[in-house]
């Protein structure tokens, strides 16, 4: 029986071609096939380094079909390099499905490290690096995004997120509402490129800055973790959240209960605030 091949997970540059490693280039030359997120994009990288290895597309729209095809090739003894348009495969890019399938099939998986925007932004941010968490892209739907942020409100580790330019302003507003306008933030863009920039300040300052400056390019956000002195929600902030719940047609009691489950705020305080919106509600919340 033929010995299975190896899947190589190769990190590629996130902007500066000089950041690719010698080991990555040698592996791209040696493998039988390169599974690429975008063959046109990877084709430019290969052309620059005079590499002629064949490519197959592997992206979010053909994962279900392509994964078993690639596993079959690996089982037949072929070697495959997995790459994405930039950075490490599987980090907010296609990859983990194929890696998981290979592990189940007892196929060797070998990482060849390369640049990652999240780590590059973190180490240059000036925020604590001894403990951090990576959240990738936040959900695009408003409710889902706010639910995720509510879960992160009291996170004490430094947080790293990705965001697109057309959603940056809304995300900054949601972060400010959830985490407080004084929370420290670093915005990194064009990492490793000629016009690499780091913006540093608070969430409120970031919102003010981007009123007059249009966001451009993909952003990496590095957000300071919560501290014991972080201010609690103001009544105005809570009233806005309660109003949104009540507009969905649920009762004041249920609205206060749901928000109390999402935020570290006493249910009684939330319920009393609903009386400002619906004055004729009972003065005490029903027992749980």
Q: Which two tokens stand for residue 157?
A: 């580790």
Of 53, 47, 45, the C-alpha closest to 16 is 45
pLDDT value, residue 154: 82
Instruction: Using the predicted structure, report yes or no on whether residue 206 has a pLDDT greater than 90.
Output: yes
Residue 284 has pLDDT above 60, yes or no: no
- Over pLDDT 90: what percentage of the chain? 68
Element holding 83 (H helix, E strand)? strand 80-83
CA distance 68 to 50: 30
Question: With 90 as the cut, is the pLDDT of residue 117 above it?
Answer: yes
Average pLDDT of the segment spanning 193-219 = 95
What are the structure tokens assigned to 138, written together? 């936040």
Strands 184-189 and 219-223, bridge-based pairing: antiparallel
Q: What is the pTM of this model?
A: 0.79
- Please compute the mean of the pLDDT values over residues 234-256 and round it to a whole number: 86
> Which is nearest to 145 in space by CA: 34, 280, 262?
262
Measured between alpha carbons, how far is 233 from 227 in angstroms, rounded to an integer? 14
Which of 115 and 271 is assigned the larger pLDDT?
115
| Residue 178 structure tokens | 């959830």
Percentage of the chain beyond pLDDT 70 is: 93
C-alpha 29/C-alpha 48 separation (Å) is: 13
Q: How far apart are CA 280 and CA 278, in angstroms?
A: 6
Q: Which pLDDT tens digit goes with each residue over 169-189?
A: 999 999 988 888 899 999 999
Over residues 95-121, the mean pLDDT reads 97
Q: What DSSP character marks residue 249? A: T
Q: What are phi and psi of 142, to 5 degrees?
A: -55, -50
* 285 pLDDT above the threshold of 60: no
User: What pLDDT, on a 0 to 100 scale, did the predictor assign at position 266?
Assistant: 66
Please spell the DSSP secondary structure of 178-239, one letter per residue: HH-TT-EEEEEESTTSTT-EEEEEEHHHHHHHHHHS---S-EEEEEPPP-TTPPPPPHHHHH
Each residue of 138-181: pLDDT tens digit?
Answer: 999 888 888 888 888 889 999 999 999 999 999 999 998 888 88
In the sheet with 54-57, reading across from the earlier edge strand, the strands are: 54-57, 33-36, 80-83, 6-10, 108-112
The whole-chain average pLDDT of the chain stands at 91
Contact present, 94 and 9 (Cβ < 8 Å): no
Residues 72-94, mean pLDDT to the nearest whole number: 96
Per-residue confidence (pLDDT) for residue 1, from 0 to 100: 63
Q: Note the pLDDT of residue 169.
A: 96
pLDDT in tens, 254-278: 888 888 777 667 677 788 888 888 7
Q: Which of 27-36, 91-100, 138-147, 213-222 has the lowest mean pLDDT?
A: 138-147
Kindly tell me if the per-residue pLDDT of 231 is higher than 70: no
User: Mapping DSSP to helix (H, G, I), strand (E, B) and coil, where does residue 162 land?
Assistant: strand
Interior angle at CA 202, CA 196 and CA 203, nearest 5: 95
Give the pLDDT confidence score for residue 282 in this predicted structure: 56
């Amino acid at each position: 029986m033929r010995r299975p091949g190896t899947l190589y997970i190769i990190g590629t540059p996130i902007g500066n071609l000089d950041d690719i490693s010698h080991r990555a280039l040698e592996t791209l030359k040696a493998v039988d096939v390169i599974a690429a997120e975008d063959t046109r994009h990877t084709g430019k990288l290969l052309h620059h380094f005079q590499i002629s290895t064949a490519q197959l597309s592997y992206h979010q729209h053909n994962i279900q079909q392509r994964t078993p095809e690639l596993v079959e090739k690996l089982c037949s003894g072929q070697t495959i390099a997995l790459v994405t348009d930039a950075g490490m495969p599987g980090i907010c890019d296609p990859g983990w499905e194929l890696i998981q399938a290979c592990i189940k099939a007892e196929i060797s998986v070998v990482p060849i490290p390369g640049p990652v925007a999240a780590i590059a932004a973190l180490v240059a941010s000036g925020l604590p690096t001894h403990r951090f968490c990576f959240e990738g892209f936040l959900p695009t739907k408003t409710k889902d995004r706010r639910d995720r942020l509510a879960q992160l409100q009291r996170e004490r580790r430094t947080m790293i997120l990705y965001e697109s330019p057309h959603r940056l302003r809304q995300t900054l507003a949601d972060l400010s509402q959830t985490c407080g306008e004084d929370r420290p933030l670093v915005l990194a863009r064009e990492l490793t490129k000629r016009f690499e920039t780091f913006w540093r300040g608070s969430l409120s300052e970031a919102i003010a800055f981007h009123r007059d400056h249009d966001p451009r390019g993909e952003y990496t956000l590095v957000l300071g973790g919560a501290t014991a002195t972080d201010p609690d929600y103001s009544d105005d902030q809570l009233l806005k959240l309660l109003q949104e719940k009540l507009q969905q047609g649920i009762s004041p009691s249920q609205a206060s209960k749901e928000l109390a489950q999402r935020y570290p705020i006493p249910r009684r305080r939330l319920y009393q605030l609903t009386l400002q919106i619906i004055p004729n509600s009972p003065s005490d919340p029903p027992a749980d």
